Structure 1
Amino acid sequence: MQNQRNLILAVLLTILLIFGWDSAMRYMYPEANRPKPAATQAAPVAEPARADKPTREGGLANPADVALEARDLATALNPAGRVAIAAPGLSGSINLTGALVDDLVTPRHTATIEKNSGPARIFSPAGTPAQQFAQVGWTGANVAVPSAQTVWTAPAGARLTPKTPVRLTWANGQGQTFAITYAIDDDYLITISQAVTNAGPAPVRLQPIAQVNRTDKTASVSTWTLHSGPFGAFDGSVKFKPNYKDVAETGTVQNIGKPDWLGFTDIYWMSVLAPDGAAQGSDFRAPGNGIYLANLYYQPADVAPGQTLAHTTRLFAGAKESAVLDRYEEAGLSNFGHAIDWGWFFWFEKPIFWLLKSLFKTVGNFGVAIILLTLIVRGIMFPIAQRQFASMAQMRAIQPKMKALQERYKDDKQRLQEETMKLYKEEGVNPLAGCLPIFLQIPVFFALYKVLTLAVEMRHQPFALWIHDLSAPDPLHILNLFGLLPFNPPGFLAIGVLALLLGFTMWLQFKLNPAAPDPVQQQVFAIMPWMMMFVMAPFAAGLLIYWITSNILTIAQQKYLYARHPQLKAMVDKERVDVGAAAKRAK
């Protein structure tokens, strides 16, 4: 009767886990199976009454917004009144009205998984559904300063490239001349130098400012493991906060500490401002209508007649490529490599990522690289597995003595524990040795999970056959006949071929293990492979490939070690027969 209650409880907990996990995955990956929009931008989060939830990657989720964005861009990006940008990492244009950097795409990454979908869009002009742009300016008292409607003057034929900076100018008619000079590198960094020269008869007091402005319609979803929203580095420490909701509720969030850089991040993209050494402070604001601002303020200063006030702000707008961010950090941008939310175990995740990229450079396929990574990891742990089997053999050998102790001290749990530990010591047995390989695999699994989830280098990387994106779940499901039927099953039923292979290989692995003597444990072990099949189905395909490969290697390893230790294989077979006979007698 007790066993029946335990079994019912185990089944109920399993069902709760499956359905609860599905709910959690829907929260973390709410639109994992939604077709990608025609353009992908750096992103914001959701308007209060918007029906369309943010996607994991970000970008416009509403088809009407996607269509409107295309029409608006065709109108807003008229070459007249713009300075073209052409660099290996970024292309687009600067709007002479307001001197806004509001048109940026990255040729290195496509908008969607389709190769002909065009470059991924990072910035869009004000007023478009995917609005996101950067600007610098000044505030001042009793002096005319440029505004968002100011039309700046550019040299004839100006074009911003890594070899040709562009200088825009505007005179206020009161003796002050304002200038903004843009320079761009081969990746995603635009250096903006702003200066004002006072040719008037009296000093003027001015405060330089810089800002990133964005809508929340294109925000990627923010989860407890991956932050999407406002963030920055202050006093040498990266802060993945606040959330969009926090800023919307308070209106303004003042940042504490000297700003090293700040802005907005999505899973794959970010746009941040990095000031020179004269920054006074910074904040995040929500003026309304789903718009969010990241503001940077410099110290106010008096500009005497004949003098010039100058400041430099660096704007990063692009993909969070780990190697690129590390190079910028080496060049002086504090903690820029940590703009990727690696988490606490970055010290382990980055080497795993480096090894994965190195393997990819060798074989040219990230899926194959994941398989090779698994081989390397399991190869390193093979000596530990041998010790695990030796420990298992020792544990089996002392089973008669263990049973004798259990019978002798069945009414004295404390004495039983003491005598058991004494037996382990006398026989030189470590009961935890069998758990070591599992514990060692956990950090590797977590590191690969983080890499597949947030590394833009993994975005849209194909493997083979139907797996076109290793960072996304298996797209073909058994219940819709692998895409032939026009519907997507709910998350907990979205079982693809990879999930099925995972469950089957885990079942084979469990079949090689000794049978559990307790009937409830037998039932749990029987359903666990299939439970894990449901749990893992919504994860990235690359992660399932890693686990399937690991299971296959474990099966091969167990067969090899059983061949090396036939006495252990004989013990396991005998235990299975004994457990089976006991189960029949219990019936």
Structure 2
Amino acid sequence: MDNQRNLLLAVVLCGLLLVGWEAAVNYLYPQPAVEAQAEQVAAAGIDEGAAPTVRRTREGGLTDAGDIAEEARDLETELVSAERVKIAAPEVTGSINPVGARIDDITLTTHRQMVDKDSGPVRIFSPAKTPAQHFAQFGWIGEGVSLPGADTVWQASGGPLAPDTPVTLRYDNGEGQLFTIKLSIDNHYMITAEQTVANTADGPIVVRPYSFINRTSKTASASTWNVHSGPIGNFGDAVQFGPDYEDLAEDASEGETEGRAHWLGFTDIYWLSALIPQEGSDAETDFRSLGGELFRADLIYQPITVGAGKQVTRSTQLFAGAKETAILDQYESAGVDKFGKAIDWGYFEIIAWPIWWLLTHLFAIVGNFGVAIIGLTILIRLLLFPIAQKQFASMAAMKAIQPKMKAIQERYKDDKQKQQQEIMALYKKENVNPLAGCLPILIQIPIFFALYKTLILAIEMRHQPFALWLKDLSAPDPATILNLFGYLPFDVPSFLAIGPLAILLGVTMWLTFKMNPTAMDPIQQQIFNIMPWMLMFVMAPFAAGLLLYWVTNNVLTLAQQTYLYSKHPQLRAAAEKDKADKAAASARDAKSKS
């Protein structure tokens, strides 16, 4: 009766897990299907006013149909000005707005918006007052001197902005001060702004160069328990992930920074905009909410006295691009402190970074990220094989001494302390380590979480196909079994939207449990019979690359167990005997009850 009650409780708990998983996934991993929405809005007949607001997606970007349409219209009018200075770098295109000295038009030529190859490049910056507003501005503040402002029209020379072609913006206030901003760009995503004020007046002036990044949170990627979206910076000796946009909007003190700022800005899961002050400077920094879903990261240098006939320059770098690990590490090596940690690898960074390195190098060799994941899984299993072999040997030794252990337990059943001492002596005499079987599992846990972190953060995985229907390994399996992959005219509830990879995960895990040599009582056996199918539903919304790793790992585990059983036939015989004994005991119990 107790066993039946426990089994029923286990089934009920598993059912609650399945039903409640949809809400948990939507909260932690919000991934509404909005990629096609941008194309639909462009079509005629969409009622923008009726378009509902969609929650932030994992990658970020506008999700409201009305905002998407308005953004497209605004860009058509805002970016046609002949005064704009073009940006034509290898990985960055766009333009500079001479009004206000704003860099407010940046797209990334090496990253496309959606899986479709003709979907167009990812846009990072958009002009002020557009729905996707995101830009950087440079200027000065001070007193007793006429300064350029947000509406100042700067005179531009040079360009288009490219690695070998800088652009200079000039403004003469007519009172003896000439302000210039010289912009240069490298081969990737870094723009350098040299702000110079030349004073030809009779007396000194005091000014403070500044720069800021202004953006809307409408385009922010979803901030989850393991992936931060929002303000970020390196202050003092550590990278600070936070606060979230909502926290900053509710409490202005959340945006106060402590310690010397090495860089600050805003991060999404794949994109980053950041200001890097001049080395050795003591700039003031903070984050602030401007209301209406607008936020700003400020960098203001200390007051500078510019004497008559003198000029002073402050140099600030602006990063606006993709969080590519190799590129961020290059900038860190060039002097941007802890810039590589803009990617939050988490507690398992010591494992995650080598996994990323190996995965990207395998991809460079095989040319397919799915094959690279399979290759990575094989290498990990080969690395852990000696440990697994010791695990099976330990299990075999444990099986061999089971009769002796039972004899000790029977002999000292009334003296638990003596019983434990004798068992430990037996372990020592037979050279058996009862904990050896746990080691492979303990080692696999950090590897799994590190790989999980790598697959969800590495932009190198974004929009990478594997084969057949798997066009993006960083996204969930798009196939849905229950409506025959879309051929049946109904939408499957998300917690039932399982694809082929999830089913393979359940089947292969069930098979590995069936081959498990460890003896289990009937309740454990029932739970282990149910668990693979529950995990099939639980893991279905995760990135397809992670499921591919787990399925491959299960297949390799089956092959490994088959091989090791052949090396330890006594273990298989003992396992089969245990199963037979339990089956016979269950039959006797059923017969006695009848």
Contact 1:38-1:111 within 8 A present in 2 as well? no
Name the aligned partner's letter for residue 163 of structure 1. D
1:467 deviation in Å? Answer: 0.5
Contact 1:58-1:266 within 8 A present in 2 as well? yes
* Distance in 2 separating the partners of 1:498 and 1:119: 30
Match of 1:334 in 2: 337
Question: Which runs of structure 2 are paired with 1:412-423 in the superposition (5 Å)?
Answer: 412-423=415-426
Contact 1:514-1:576 within 8 A present in 2 as well? no
Q: Deviations over 1:394-446 (max 9, x none)?
A: 11111122223333444554444333323222222111111211222222211
Match of 2:170 in 1: 169
Q: 1:145 to 1:36 in 2, by over 3 A?
A: farther
Contact 2:477-2:501 within 8 A present in 1 as well? yes
* Distance in 2 separating the partners of 1:33 and 1:576: 47
Match of 1:144 in 2: 146
Contact 2:473-2:543 within 8 A present in 1 as well? yes
Name the aligned partner's letter for residue 3 of structure 1. N
Matched, 1:348 2:351: yes
* Distance in 1 separating the partners of 2:245 and 2:146: 34
Matched, 1:111 2:113: yes
1:525 to 528, 531, 545: 528
* Distance in 1 separating the partners of 2:389 and 2:442: 15
User: Percent same amino acid at aligned positions?
Assistant: 59
Name the aligned partner's letter for residue 209 of structure 1. Y
1:387 to 342, 366, 390: 390
Contact 1:38-1:117 within 8 A present in 2 as well? no
1:517 deviation in Å? Answer: 4.2
Contact 2:38-2:65 within 8 A present in 1 as well? no
1:101 deviation in Å? Answer: 0.2
Q: 1:228 to 1:568 in 2, by over 3 A?
A: same
Q: 1:38 to 1:161 in 2, by over 3 A?
A: farther
1:108 deviation in Å? Answer: 0.5
* Distance in 2 separating the partners of 1:379 and 1:36: 42
Name the aligned partner's letter for residue 580 of structure 1. A
Q: Deviations over 1:449-482 (max 9, x none)?
A: 1111011111000000011111111111112221
Match of 1:405 in 2: 408
1:484 deviation in Å? Answer: 2.5
| Higher RCO structure, 1 or 2 (CA under 8 Å, sep 6+) | 1
Match of 1:46 in 2: none
Contact 1:384-1:437 within 8 A present in 2 as well? yes
Tell me the number of residue pairs that the alignment of Structure 1 and Structure 2 aligns. 576
Contact 1:519-1:583 within 8 A present in 2 as well? no
2:103 to 95, 101, 104: 101
1:488 deviation in Å? Answer: 4.6
Match of 1:159 in 2: 160
Match of 2:19 in 1: 19
* Distance in 2 separating the partners of 1:120 and 1:481: 33
Q: Deviations over 1:500-531 (max 9, x none)?
A: 00000111111112374411111111111111
1:486 deviation in Å? Answer: 5.3
1:119 deviation in Å? Answer: 0.5
Match of 1:42 in 2: none
Question: Which runs of structure 2 are paired with 1:64-83 in the superposition (5 Å)?
Answer: 64-83=66-85
Match of 1:289 in 2: 292
* Distance in 1 separating the partners of 2:269 and 2:497: 24
Q: Deviations over 1:156-187 (max 9, x none)?
A: x6311100000010111211111001000010
1:51 deviation in Å? Answer: 3.8
Match of 2:270 in 1: 268
Q: 1:421 to 1:24 in 2, by over 3 A?
A: farther
State the SS of the aligned residue for 2:155: coil
Match of 2:45 in 1: none
Name the aligned partner's letter for residue 11 of structure 1. V
Name the aligned partner's letter for residue 242 of structure 1. P
* Distance in 2 separating the partners of 1:190 and 1:38: 30
Match of 2:544 in 1: 541
* Distance in 2 separating the partners of 1:496 and 1:430: 41
1:12 deviation in Å? Answer: 2.6
Match of 1:299 in 2: 302
1:145 deviation in Å? Answer: 0.9
RMSD over aligned Cα, in angstroms?
Answer: 1.6
Match of 2:465 in 1: 462
State the SS of the aligned residue for 1:573: helix
> TM-score, structure 1 length as denominator?
0.95
Deviates more, 1:358-367 or 1:79-88: 79-88
Name the aligned partner's letter for residue 211 of structure 2. A
Question: Which runs of structure 2 are paired with 1:122-521 in the superposition (5 Å)?
Answer: 122-155=124-157, 158-251=159-252, 253-276=255-278, 277-485=280-488, 488-514=491-517, 516-521=519-524
Name the aligned partner's letter for residue 11 of structure 2. V
